[in-house]
Structure 1
Amino acid sequence: MGVTLKDVARRAGVSIKTVSNVVHGYEHVTVEMRQRVNKALEELNYQPNLPARYLRQGHVSIVALAIPFLTNPYFSDIGKAVVSAANARAYTVLIDSTDGERAKEMMVINGMYPHLIDGVILSPLALEAEDLLSRRVDVPIVLLGERLFNVPYDHVVIDNVAAARLATSHLISLGRTRIAAIGAQEISAGDTARLRLQGYREALTEAGLAYNPDLVTRSLSYDRIDGIQSMHQLLASGTPPDAVFCFNDLLALGALRALYEAGYRVPEDVAVVGIDDIKESAFSMPSLTTIAPNKQEIGDLAVAFLLDRIAKTYTGQPRQTQASFELIVRESTAGRAASPQQTSPIVPRPE
């Protein structure tokens, strides 16, 4: 038989109720009592009985976060934001990586049973709407990202069209006219790419610049090597671009490497903008101008929506909310002589 709350209480010299309050994250326990209980929990290697807790309370205070790639710093940042938001509400987060594969995403929505988790925050790449509509497990779901619109689940996104338009307009404001785009996709999971390409084209149109498909490269994935290969392709075209909008920061970092290898100066010869504001972007040479989604806001919204559904404090129609973002200007467009980091006004999410 495993360690019980009674065993922990005896070791800590407190009541079972106090141990229960600490285990469940209630804040009205004194610091001294909490330290004693946590020490006893660690010494006895206490493991909660999740199925029993579910039978008693109807929830286990654990949610799952399923993201496509743990190796992509953007999704790591989102994971950190979700964990922070959940911990503040006394919830634990289990993180799973799906690699953007349909079978793994199907397992997330169909294979996690209610006695293990209370709900799922999912950033899908491969699922179709009918997959979610026919799922077998009835736990609340909140969606992140651009896949699966028009399904009955709460959804947190950023306005990718507006974000791409802002990035491209920034390059246009520098007097650049041959602006390339790296990251277009024609696959079914390429919703983000399609929206960012749309914003890129809208900015060109608004500035009176013609759209040139020869300046748009396609990438099956969004990693650094794809950015290197795409940038080399653009440079080999005979008339290189004078600016590049990359559909994420990893592509942009690869593009910066390719430009360095080819002897081009950034931003003097080619200005570069990314999107995601991963930490590496502030430390690249040159540092990368980027669109920064408000990741903490994304995490807060996703967790708040999910816990609303778990507690049934909200049972209304599915909510789709856009988190804010901003343009962070760094050396890849402003040059090294630029003043310290500049930002554009934050674009607020609609009420």
Structure 2
Amino acid sequence: MTKARLRDVAARAGVSIRTVSNVVNGYAPVSDETRLRVEAAVAELGYRPNLLARNLKRGRTGMLALVVPELDVPYFAELARAVVTEARRHGYTVVIDQTDGEPDRERELIMGASAALFDGVILSPLALSQADLALRDTTSPLVLLGERIAESPYDHVAIDNVAASRAATEHLIDLGRTRIAAMGDQPYETGETAQLRTRGYREAHAARGRALDESLIVSTRRFHRSDGARAMATLLDHPGGPPDAVFCYNDLLAIGALRTLLTRGLRVPEDVAVVGFDDIEESRYSTPSLTTVSPDKEQIARLAVDRLIARLGDRSDERPAELWAPHRLVPRESTVS
């Protein structure tokens, strides 16, 4: 079967080839009647535009990059899926890479030779600084995710980690828990997200008039299951006694904590209530199911992709935008029996 061409659509719709091109590519306005005729001809003939030729003509590749620290962390995998879905809606393909938080790798992917392969980049940085970004001389748009670099000449998408962590901690306080631990603090230069979550934890205690035991704030090197299991063991062996609740800074830490509690013979939530963060799919099927903070990953993806598309279009000179995605607390069995 011969592939339909632009001229075939034009002949079927009774319009010029330029008019079909305007409808298909959105280059210029046409009347509703004409647009409907062209769209009907496109559907009838099964016409598919040559996206490669179109992008080359516009000086673009048709590809966006999503760069994250770790692809085997479920939050980033679920976010990647949302970004791919949103980019596809705009006719773009997404290439996904990971940096392991290595500064050289992050620099290469936003300002090295490989950056020229993409029309725009969405980056969740762990190691880059504002000084690094100041050296970036490529004109392709960049959108930053997370808290590593909140003030920069680039668009930034995040959630309110302080408010979200405060809500998670207040949930535990309102359940009557009196010895609430925090798991996942990272008091070093690249630990901005963890530090904001610690701040929210502190604010919740202050807002409820609760004394804060600093020794119940436990640091972890990473946000992995094994880190959570070890940190929970440390808390259970605390010289002042174990906590009756723990706020974990992501769901993987919480799932690791659940494992340690199980092996120690403790009940969740009766003995220790557990709250996570990220609302990954695994949290809905853990035993017990995990109460968690759910950031709107679809909205994060939508905001990030939309900003790249805007920068590639007629809004390339807009000032950098600071965009916030919503979050909500999802109570489940790990706190509510």
Q: TM-score range by the shorter chain?
A: 0.7 to 0.9
Per-residue displacement from partner, 1:18-40 (whole Å, max 9, x unpaired)? 7x97xx98894634533x769xx
What corresponds to 2:224 in structure 1?
223
Would the alpha carbon gap of residues 244 and 82 (structure 1) be closer, same or farther in structure 2, given more than 3 Å must change? same
User: Alignment RMSD, CA only?
Assistant: 2.4
What corresponds to 2:274 in structure 1?
272
What corresponds to 2:74 in structure 1?
73
Question: Pairwise mapping of residues 115-264 of structure 1 onto structure 2 (< 5 A)?
Answer: 116-238=117-239, 239-264=241-266
Would the alpha carbon gap of residues 17 and 90 (structure 1) be closer, same or farther in structure 2, given more than 3 Å must change? farther
SS in 1 for 2:334: helix
Give the Å deviation of 1:101.
Answer: 1.0
- Give the conservation status (yes or no) of the 8 Å contact 2:157–2:304: yes
Would the alpha carbon gap of residues 37 and 156 (structure 1) be closer, same or farther in structure 2, given more than 3 Å must change? closer
- Say yes or no: does 1:12 pair with 2:12: no
Would the alpha carbon gap of residues 53 and 233 (structure 1) be closer, same or farther in structure 2, given more than 3 Å must change? same
SS in 1 for 2:335: helix
Would the alpha carbon gap of residues 67 and 25 (structure 1) be closer, same or farther in structure 2, given more than 3 Å must change? farther
- Give the conservation status (yes or no) of the 8 Å contact 2:55–2:62: no
Give the Å deviation of 1:81.
Answer: 1.1
Report the AA paired with residue 228 of structure 1. A
Would the alpha carbon gap of residues 116 and 33 (structure 1) be closer, same or farther in structure 2, given more than 3 Å must change? farther
Query: What is the distance in 1 between the residues matched to 2:292 and 2:273?
Result: 12
What corresponds to 1:331 in structure 2?
333
Query: What is the distance in 1 between the residues matched to 2:6 and 2:139?
Result: 36
What corresponds to 1:95 in structure 2?
96
Q: Normalised by the size of structure 2, how large is the TM-score?
A: 0.86
What corresponds to 1:59 in structure 2?
60
SS in 1 for 2:97: strand
Query: Between the two proteins, what is the percent identity of the paired residues?
Result: 47
Report the AA paired with residue 234 of structure 2. Q
Report the AA paired with residue 182 of structure 2. A
State how many pairs are aligned.
Answer: 313
Query: What is the distance in 1 between the residues matched to 2:81 and 2:7?
Result: 32
What corresponds to 1:320 in structure 2?
322
Q: Report which stretch shifted further, 307-316 or 112-121.
A: 112-121
Query: What is the distance in 2 between the residues matched to 1:272 and 1:114?
Result: 42
What corresponds to 1:30 in structure 2?
42
Query: What is the distance in 2 between the residues matched to 1:161 and 1:37?
Result: 47
SS in 1 for 2:198: helix
Runs of 4+ in 1 over 4 A off after TM superposition: 15-18, 24-27, 112-115
What corresponds to 2:30 in structure 1?
none
Would the alpha carbon gap of residues 251 and 25 (structure 1) be closer, same or farther in structure 2, given more than 3 Å must change? farther
What corresponds to 1:4 in structure 2?
none
Query: What is the distance in 1 between the residues matched to 2:211 and 2:228?
Result: 23
- Give the conservation status (yes or no) of the 8 Å contact 1:60–1:115: no
Per-residue displacement from partner, 1:318-350 (whole Å, max 9, x unpaired)? 110110000000000001xxxxxxxxxxxxxxx
Query: What is the distance in 2 between the residues matched to 1:123 and 1:221?
Result: 16
Report the AA paired with residue 12 of structure 1. K
Per-residue displacement from partner, 1:166-208 (whole Å, max 9, x unpaired)? 0000000000010000000122110000000000000011112
Q: Normalised by the size of structure 1, how large is the TM-score?
A: 0.83
Query: What is the distance in 1 between the residues matched to 2:25 and 2:76?
Result: 27
- Give the conservation status (yes or no) of the 8 Å contact 1:113–1:137: no
Gaps of 5+ in 1: 1-9, 42-46, 336-351
- Give the conservation status (yes or no) of the 8 Å contact 2:4–2:45: no
Report the AA paired with residue 230 of structure 1. A
- Give the conservation status (yes or no) of the 8 Å contact 2:182–2:248: yes
Report the AA paired with residue 295 of structure 2. P
- Give the conservation status (yes or no) of the 8 Å contact 2:279–2:294: yes
